């Protein structure tokens, strides 16, 4: 945390370099703001500084409705929908769509299935199902290259529900069956 004088100088300048680095709490209004807040500057005698929005709220202050300090840079809310997509991608990589549905994934993220699909279209350029399929095929390709496991085992370890779906996905992407992709050992 910066010292009082550094915070105060940054607040008075409305310095964007300090946005999200500290929060200004005003004792007379019991509101806390970001250092870049466009409201009329409070008297220095009435302010105190906190390192996080949570710390200001813990001290009894409520967020400013103008500068929305709870969405300051470096917090998940500030990243907006990118955070939701990043969380979804982690869950998909962990196999959320190998056994579950897009609706179940969306419910885990606190959004609707249609909204999640729109977010993926905007941020990833593909649907959640297409993304999961690409990740499955990538896992399968690595297993084909790095192991001597039977193709049936690879299909299930990569997250496919059946060998038939695995073969169809591979044939569609590579134009040949998975067994022909495997590098000969030796």
Which phi and psi (to 5°) does residue 69 adopt? -65, -20
Q: How far apart are CA 62 and CA 133, in angstroms?
A: 45
- Fill in the DSSP letter of residue 47: E
User: Looking at domain 4-76, which of 3.30.465.10, 3.40.1360.10, 3.40.1390.10, 3.40.10.10 is its CATH number?
Assistant: 3.40.10.10
Q: Where are the beta strands (DSSP E) in the chain?
A: 23-26, 31-33, 47-50, 62-63
Q: Where are the beta strands (DSSP E) in 2-153?
A: 23-26, 31-33, 47-50, 62-63
CB 35 within 8 A of CB 62: no
Q: How far apart are CA 20 and CA 16, in angstroms?
A: 9
CB 177 within 8 A of CB 139: no
This prediction has a pTM of 0.58
Angle at 4 between CA 41 and CA 9, to 5 degrees: 50
Which phi and psi (to 5°) does residue 148 adopt? -115, 20
Which residues are catalytic, by number? 33, 37, 64, 67
Q: Which CATH topology does 130-181 take?
A: Arc Repressor Mutant, subunit A (1.10.10)
pLDDT for the residue numbered 124:
83
Per-residue pLDDT of the chain (186 residues; tens, 9 = 90+): 799 999 999 999 999 889 888 999 999 999 999 999 999 999 999 999 998 888 888 899 999 888 888 766 555 555 567 888 889 999 999 999 988 999 999 999 888 999 999 998 888 888 999 999 988 988 998 899 889 999 999 999 999 989 999 999 888 888 888 988 876 665
Strand partners, 33: 24
């Amino acid at each position: 945390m910066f010292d009082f004088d550094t915070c105060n100088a940054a607040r008075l300048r409305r310095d964007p370099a300090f946005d999200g680095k500290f929060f200004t709490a005003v004792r007379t209004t019991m509101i806390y703001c970001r250092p870049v807040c466009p409201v009329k500057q409070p008297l220095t005698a009435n302010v105190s500084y906190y390192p996080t929005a949570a710390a200001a709220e813990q001290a009894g202050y409520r967020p400013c409705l103008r500068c929305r300090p709870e969405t300051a840079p470096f917090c998940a809310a500030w990243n907006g929908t990118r955070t939701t997509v990043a969380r979804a991608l982690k869950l998909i990589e962990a196999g959320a769509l190998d056994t579950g549905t897009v609706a179940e994934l969306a419910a885990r993220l606190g959004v609707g299935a249609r909204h999640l699909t729109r977010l993926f279209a905007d941020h990833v350029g593909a649907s959640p199902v297409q993304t999961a399929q690409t990740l499955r095929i990538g896992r399968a390709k690595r297993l084909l290259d790095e192991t001597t496991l039977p193709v049936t085992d690879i299909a299930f370890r990569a997250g496919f529900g059946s060998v038939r779906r695995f073969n169809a996905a591979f044939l569609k992407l590579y134009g040949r069956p998975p067994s022909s992709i495997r590098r000969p050992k030796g």
